[in-house]
Amino acid sequence: MQTIDLVLHRMIQCADAWEKTGDQRCIFLRCYSMMSTNMATAITEGHFHDPIWISKLMLRFAEYYFEALDNYERHSAQTSPPWQQAHDATLHSSLHVLQCLLLGVNAHINYDLPLSLYDCLRDEWPTLHPDQQQLRQEDHEKVNQVIASTIDAVQDTVIEPHAPVMAIVDRVMGRMDEWLLSQLISSWRNEVWSVAISLLDATDPSEWEGIRQQQEQRVLERGESLKGAL
């Protein structure tokens, strides 16, 4: 597994390259790199009950993103359908910046995150005391605070340069749009904790796979809605 510094370097390097070529995939990745940088700071500053576990989760989460990206770049049949949908959508110049961002967020949070949580919890979950399980959930939920604290910067440095009209919306609505974006992401993150627990509670591989497929379908349907929004 790579270190957090190496992962952040790859995110920023890739986002820079995409931005130079006008590749709209830079929108989500720039946002993701900013949030990940703030996550690394929060870990260092001791904001989590278990910084080692949350670091492991952060890295596994990033691995899912880059595994899907590498597969997509190779035109591999192994590309996860949610990321195939999200990356393909950015090829359309008519897509709004918020659609590009939310399609990436949808694929990464609603699909990659429950799988990442499962990977990082499956070995220990059956033996954890309920109080310890609660601490894991609290660390997961504390990430929402990091996301909320990053949204202003995302709005100013990622969204507005691609859609200057959003700056006018900010002035008129008092940055209400950022609050709504933060609430949406937090809501999705809270939902996927339940999905991860369902995966952990699955009694056999066939039940586990059924839960995964059901979540994948949910994510794809939500992605279709996002493509038609705005």
Question: At which residue do the structure tokens 């586990």 appear?
Answer: 208
Q: Is 90 exceeded by the pLDDT of residue 154?
A: no
Lowest mean pLDDT among 42-56, 66-80, 89-103, 161-175: 161-175
Q: Do residues 150 and 34 touch, judged by C-beta distance below 8 A?
A: yes
167 band by pLDDT with thresholds 50, 70 and 90: very low
45/55 Cα distance (integer angstroms): 13
Across the range 25-42, mean pLDDT stands at: 96
pLDDT at site 96: 87
Across the range 175-191, mean pLDDT stands at: 78
Q: What share of the chain is helix, strand, coil (3-state, %, to 5)?
A: 85, 0, 15
177 band by pLDDT with thresholds 50, 70 and 90: low
Q: Is 90 exceeded by the pLDDT of residue 178?
A: no
129-149: pLDDT as tens digits: 999 999 999 999 999 999 988
Q: Do residues 97 and 163 touch, judged by C-beta distance below 8 A?
A: yes
CA angle (72 as vertex; 230, 90 as ends), nearest 5: 20
11/104 Cα distance (integer angstroms): 14
Q: Cα–Cα distances in Å, from 68 out to 16, 49, 79, 84?
A: 19, 30, 5, 8
Q: Do residues 28 and 103 touch, judged by C-beta distance below 8 A?
A: yes
Q: Cα–Cα distances in Å, from 218 out to 69, 112, 135, 213, 215?
A: 21, 13, 28, 9, 5
pLDDT at site 84: 97
69-113: pLDDT as tens digits: 999 999 999 999 999 999 999 998 788 888 999 999 999 999 999
15/30 Cα distance (integer angstroms): 6
CA angle (161 as vertex; 64, 72 as ends), nearest 5: 25
Amino acid in the structure at residue 201: D
In the chain, count H helices and then E strands: 11, 0
